[in-house]
Structure 1
Amino acid sequence: MAKAIMLQGTSSHVGKSILTTALCRIFKQDGQKVTPFKSQNMALNSYVTKDGGEMGRAQVAQAEAAGLEPTVEMNPVLLKPTGNSCSQVIVMGKPVGNMSAKEYHSGYSLTALGVVTECLQKLHNDFDVIVIEGAGSPAEVNLKDNDIVNMRIAKLAPAPVLLIADIDRGGALASVVGTLELLEPDERDLVKGIIINKFRGDINLLKPALDFLETKTGKPVLGVIPHLDRLGIDDEDSVSLEDKQQSNKTGELDIAVLRLPKISNFTDFDALANESDVQVRYVRQGETIGKPDLIILPGSKNTTEDLLYLRHNGYEKELIKLVKSGTPVVGICGGYQMLGREVQDPDHTESDLDKVMGLGLIDSITIFEADKVTHQVKATADNHKFLGINYSGDNLTGYEIHMGRTQFLTPFDPAFTITTRSGEQVQMTDGAVSADGLVMGTYMHGIFDNDAYRRAVLDALRIRKGLSPLGIVQDTQARKDAAYDRLADVVRQSMNMDLVYRIINETNGR
C-alpha cells in the first residue's frame, strides 16, 4: 500500500495545484514512485490521455513532475462548466451528461464515489506515495454532505492533511483559524500542518504571526512559500488566467487572444508566451483588439454563445476589419468552428440555440453531435500555407476535444494531415488555411507546443513586421522540466520536509 498525503486549502486558488506539483517532483527526486490524485476537478482546461480519456490539466502537470504518463485514474471526475450553473460531467475520461449544480451535488456526486474509490485503490497498489489535491475549501458546510474531494477522501485514503493559506490576498491567519473551527473534530485531527503560500517580504516580520498561529491551532507551520512569478507550469482555471492577463511582459511580437466567456484550454498559448520575442495578451470584455501581429480565437466550451459574445460586443466587426487589412488569425477547436459560415446545434448539445451564423472567414459549417471526439494525435504538414511559410514537418503532436464536425462547402487547403489518432494509423485532414494564407483553423490543441512549427510561425510574423527571423527553436519539454525542478527547489528550501516525511510515515503506520 502506498503512503498518502493530502493538500487542502482555506479557499480556491491558494496554490494547491502548484504545491501538489512541487511535492510530486520532490518525492520523485527522492527516489519515490509517486503519483498525483484529485478525485473531482472543475475546469475548462483539460487534456486527452493516450487512450482518449479526458482529464484536468493540473493533474497532467503533476504527472509530468512525477515523471509519469497522465491517466484518468489521477482525476476520475471532471466537471466542465457549460453555463447557467450547469456542467458537463466526465467520469473516467468520458462524458456521462450535462447536469445542474443541484443535480450533481444532491444526486450524482456520491454515486461517483465508487469509481473514485477504485481509482484510489489502484494507485495504492501501483505507487509508493500518493499526493492528493483537494478542491475549494473543506469548510464549505453546504457541500460537505456530498463531498467527494476533500475530507471524505482524506479519510478514505487515509491521508494526513496539510492546510494551505494564501497570504498574498490577505486574511491568511483568519482563514486558517476559521477553516479549522468549521471542521468536525475528527476532520480537524486529520490536519497535521499548515503551509503559508505566496509570501512576499521579510519572513522575520512574519514570525510573530506564525508563532500565534501554532499556539492558537496546535498545528505546526510546515513552511512559508515565497510568491513565485512566471513559473512556466500549466494551470487550469480562470483565476490563473487572470494572472496571465496581468503580466507586464513585452515583446517584439504582439499576439492577442480573445478572452471568451467560456474559454477553454488556454494553456495552448503558454509556449508562445514563453518565447522571448512574444507578448501574449488576453483581450477582455470592453478592451479593443488593437493592432496585433496575430489574433487567436481559442477553444470554447460553448461555441455558439461565445460567437454571440463576439457579435454583441463588437469584436466580430473589429476582427473581420483587421483580417481584411492583413492581420492574420488562428482559430483552435471552438475558435476554428467560429471561423466558418455557420455553427449548427440541432440536438442542443451546447446551448438552446439551433444555429448561429459564423464569422465567414472559412467556407465551412460545423454541426454538433452528441458524442465527443477525444484523441491524442500525430500529424504532418506538407507545404503548410499559413502566412506563406510553406512549412513541412512530421511528428507534430496535439490532441482533439470537440463535439462538432466541420464540413467544407468548397475545396480547401487543409492545415495538417493527421496520421495517428489514439494510437491508430489514419490518413485524414485537419483544419483549413484560407487562400490568402491569413486565416488558419485547426482542431489540434497543443499545436504551438511543437517547437519547430511554433518558431516557423513566429519568424513568419517577424518577417511580415520587417524584423529578422530568430531561428532559435526552444525545447518546450526541457523548459517544463527546468520549471518543475526550480519549483521543487524553492519548496524544498521553504518547507520542513523532514517533518512532512514524519507526518506521512506516522499517519500511514510506517
Structure 2
Amino acid sequence: MPLAPVLMIQGTHSNAGKSLMVTALCRIFARRGLRVAPFKAQNMALNSFVTPEGHEIGRAQAVQAEAAGVAPHVDMNPILIKPEGDGVSQLMLNGRPYTRLHAGNFYALKTELWPHVTAALDRLRQRFDLVIAEGAGSPAEINLKAGDIVNMRVARYANAPVLLVGDIDRGGVFAALVGTMVLLEPEERALVKGFIINKFRGDVRLLGDGLTMLQERAFGVPTLGVVPFLPNLRIADEDSVALETRHVRGDGEIEIAVVRLPRISNFDDFDALAAEPGVRVRFVQHPDEMTERPTALILPGSKATIADLAWLRATGLAARIQALAREGVPLVGICGGYQMLGQWLEDPDGVEAPPGTRVPGLGLLPTHTIFARQKATFQVEVEGCSGALFAGIAGARGYEIHMGRTQSPAPLLRLRRTSGETVLDGAQQGAVWGTYVHGLFDNAALRHAWLKSLGWRPQGVGLSENWREREYDRLADHVAAHVDINAIAALVEQAGKPSA
C-alpha cells in the first residue's frame, strides 16, 4: 500500500508562523475533500492536550487536527518536551511520561527516539491522504543539525517538499530566507520548493523587485505567497511566548486577571472568556499590576505547582491574591492553580520536590493535594454537578492533565473519564472555586453563568458555540487568498507519485 504524501512547513526561526500555516493548510486541503493529518516529530510546549485515548500531545497539533476535522492522535506528536525550569524538562514519548531531561542530555537520546518518529509518521501516512508536517525552530542551526529529528531529517525521510516560512514583521526576512538556504546541505536545499513571507503589514507593492531578487539569490526558489498580518485571530497559541506581545485580550468593563505563572500551561483555557463581548482578560506577573481591584482572578495550570507557588510568595502575589479573595473578589483555580488554593500540598515520592516535601497552600479552599508519580491524562464529560453556578453543564467536556490527587470535602463535579471510570472533582468556598478540568470555560452555560455572577451582561448574540470553527475558516480563507494554493497542491500531487 503506497504511503500518503507529506508536505512540510519549516521556518527561518521560532515563531515565524509555522503552526498557524499548518493549521491553515490542514483546513484548506480538508475542504478540498482530503483526509489530512498534522505531524510534528518533536514539540517543546507547556500547552498540551489529551487525545480520546488518553495520550498527551502538543496543543498546536490538537488545534491542527481540529482544523482538519479529524480526532487528535498521539502519532501527530510522538515527542513532547515540557520544561519544568532550572534546565529540567519532562519528556513525553508517545503520549506518556518517558524521562526527565537535564539540559544537554536530550541529544544523547535522539538516536533512541528517531525510530519512534518514523513509525508514527508512517502510521499517519497509512491512514490519511495527506500529512502536513511542521518543523521546529530553524533547519539551519548548524550546531544542532547532527542531532536533527524534527526538520530536514523528517523531510528527507518522507521525500517531502518543504515550504520555508519567514516572518517579515521581525525585519530581515530576505536575509533570513537566503541565509537559511545557504546553510542547508545541497540535498536539503533541493527539497525547499517555495517561500512564504508571513505577517506582512502594508501594501505588497512595497516589496518592489525584492521577490525576484530573492529568487535569484536563493537558488531559484520562488515565493509562493505574501501573507498579510491577520489581527484578532482567536486560535489557541502554542506556548507562553505569545503572552509577551498579547498579555491583554479582549476589551470591556469585566476585567479578569490571570496570574502568569513562570511555568504557566494551557492558558488557552481562557480564550473563550476573552472572546466574549465586554470581557477583558489580562495576564499579570506582579502585585503592582493589581493595584486596582479586578473583577475576578484566575490561577491557571502549572507544570511545576510547588515551584510556582513559591514564586507567588516570593513576588508578593500570594498575599495580594489572598487579600483580594478575602475581600470577596471571585477567584478560580484550574489544575495546578486549583492545587495551590488548598490547605496543604504533599509530595511523598519526590514528583516535584524532594521526597517528603509538605508545603502550605494559599488556604482558600478546604482541600489537600498529594502528588503521585502516575500522570492523569483523560478526556472527561461532566455527569453531575452541585451549586447554582454549575447548573446546566451536564454533558460539558474537557480534559485532565495532572500528577496528583486532591481531597475535597464537597466535590463540585462528577466526571466520566474516557477510561470509563467515574471520579469526583473540584471544590468551592464562597466565591472561590477550583477544578482539574481544562476547557470548562468553552462550555457556554458555565461561562455565561460565571460571567453574569461578575456583573456581565450579554451584548448582542454573544459568542457562538462554533466560534473556533469560524476562526479556522477565517484563517484558511486568509491564507488561501494570499498564497498560490494550486502550486502547493501540485507539489503535493508530485510528492504522491511513486518514484521512478
TM over 0.5: yes
**Offset at 1:139?**
0.8
TM-superposed CA distance for 1:372, in Å, is 0.5
Match of 2:93 in 1: 91
Distance 1:472 1:341, change over 3 A: farther
One-letter code of the match for 2:98? V
Aligned to 2:328, the other structure's residue is in SS state coil
1:421 aligned residue: 417
SS in 1 for 2:454: helix
Q: Which residue of 1 aligns with 2:81?
A: 79
CA 242–380 in structure 1, closer or farther in 2 if over 3 Å, else same: farther
Q: Is the 8 A contact 1:459 1:470 kept in 2?
A: no
CA contact (8 A) 1:384 1:416 kept: no
* Cα offset, 1:110, TM superposition: 2.2
- Report the counterpart of residue 320 of structure 1 in structure 2: 322
Structure 1 distance, partners of 2:13, 2:103, is 19
Equivalent residues of 2:277, 2:459 under 8 A apart: no
1:459 match: 452
Distance 1:357 1:383 in 2: 27
Counterpart-to-counterpart distance in 1, 2:48 and 2:266 = 6
* Candidates 427, 436, 452, aligned match of 1:432: 427
Of 441, 446, 454, which residue of structure 1 is paired with 2:439? Answer: 446
Q: Deviations over 1:419-463 (max 9, x none)?
A: x1114152x3201001xx21101000111011111111111111x
Paired with 2:348 and 2:266, the residues of 1 have a C-alpha distance of 25
Q: CA deviation at 1:118?
A: 1.0
Give 3-state SS (helix, strand or coil) of 1:241's partner: helix
Greater displacement, 353-362 / 116-125: 353-362
Asked whether the equivalents of residues 304 and 355 of structure 1 are also in contact (C-alpha less than 8 Å), the reply is: no
1:492 is matched with 480
C-alpha separation in 1, matches of 2:353 and 2:156: 39
- What residue in structure 2 maps to residue 186 of structure 1? 187
In structure 2, the partner of 1:15 is 17
Cα deviation for residue 246 of structure 1 reads: 4.9
Query: Which residue identity does 1:82 align to in structure 2?
Result: E
- CA shift for structure 1 position 505: 2.5
Contact 1:87-1:99 at 8 Å conserved across structures: yes
User: Aligned ranges for residues 474-493 of structure 1 at < 5 Å?
Assistant: 474-476=463-465, 478-493=466-481
* Count of matched residue pairs: 493
Q: Where do residues 31-42 of structure 1 align in structure 2 (5 Å cutoff)?
A: 31-42=33-44
Report the alpha carbon displacement of residue 356 of structure 1 after superposing the two structures with TM: 2.4
Distance 1:479 1:441 in 2: 25
> For each residue in 1:153-197, what CA deviation from the matched residue of structure 2 results, as whole angstroms up to 9, or x when unmatched?
001112011110000011111111111111111111111111100
Note the alpha carbon deviations across 1:468-497, whole angstroms, 9 max, x for none: 566956334x11111111111111110011
Match of 1:292 in 2: 294
Q: Give SS of 1:119's match.
A: helix
Counterparts in 2 of 1:157 and 1:285: CA distance versus 1, 3 Å:
farther
SS at match of 1:458: helix
Moved more, 346-355 or 145-154: 346-355
Q: Distance between the aligned counterparts of 1:208 and 1:72, measured in 2?
A: 44
What residue is the counterpart of 2:377 in the other structure? 374
Instruction: Tell me which residue corresponds to 1:397.
Output: 397
Counterpart residue number, 1:356? 359
Alpha-carbon shift at residue 286 of structure 1 (Å): 6.2
Partner SS state of residue 2, structure 1: coil
Cα distance change of structure 1 residues 383 and 78 upon mapping to structure 2, 3 Å threshold: same
Secondary structure at 1:255 match in 2: strand
3-state SS of paired residue (2:472): helix
Write out the 4+ residue segments of structure 1 that deviate beyond 4 Å after TM superposition: 467-473
* Contact kept in structure 1, 2:393 and 2:443, CA below 8 Å: no
Output the CA distance in 2 between the equivalents of 1:439 and 1:95. Answer: 32
The equivalences for 1:73-472 within 5 A come to 73-105=75-107, 107-217=108-218, 218-247=220-249, 249-285=250-286, 287-289=288-290, 290-352=292-354, 354-385=357-388, 389=389, 391-408=391-408, 412-418=409-415, 420-426=416-422, 428-434=423-429, 437-462=430-455, 468=457
SS at match of 1:395: coil
Q: Which runs of 5+ in 2 are unaligned?
A: none
Residue pair 1:161, 1:192 contacting (<8 A) in 2 also: yes
- Please say if residues 287 and 317 of structure 2, whose CA atoms lie closer than 8 Å, have aligned partners that are also in contact: no
Gap change, CA 1:355 and 1:209, over 3 Å in 2: farther
Counterpart contact for 1:258–1:282, Cα < 8 Å: yes
Q: For residues 265-308 of structure 1, what are the alpha-carbon distances to aligned partners after superposition, in whole Å with 9 as ceiling and x for unaligned?
A: 00100111110121000002464223111100000000011001
Question: Which residue type is aligned with residue 429 of structure 1?
Answer: L
1:414 CA displacement = 1.8
**Cα RMSD (Å) of the superposition?**
1.7
Distance 1:227 1:471, change over 3 A: closer
Structure 1 residues 6 and 468, CA gap change in structure 2 (3 angstroms): closer
Bigger mean CA deviation after superposition, 235-244 or 139-148: 235-244
How far apart are the structure 1 equivalents of 2:159 and 2:93?
Answer: 23
Shift of 1:242: 2.4
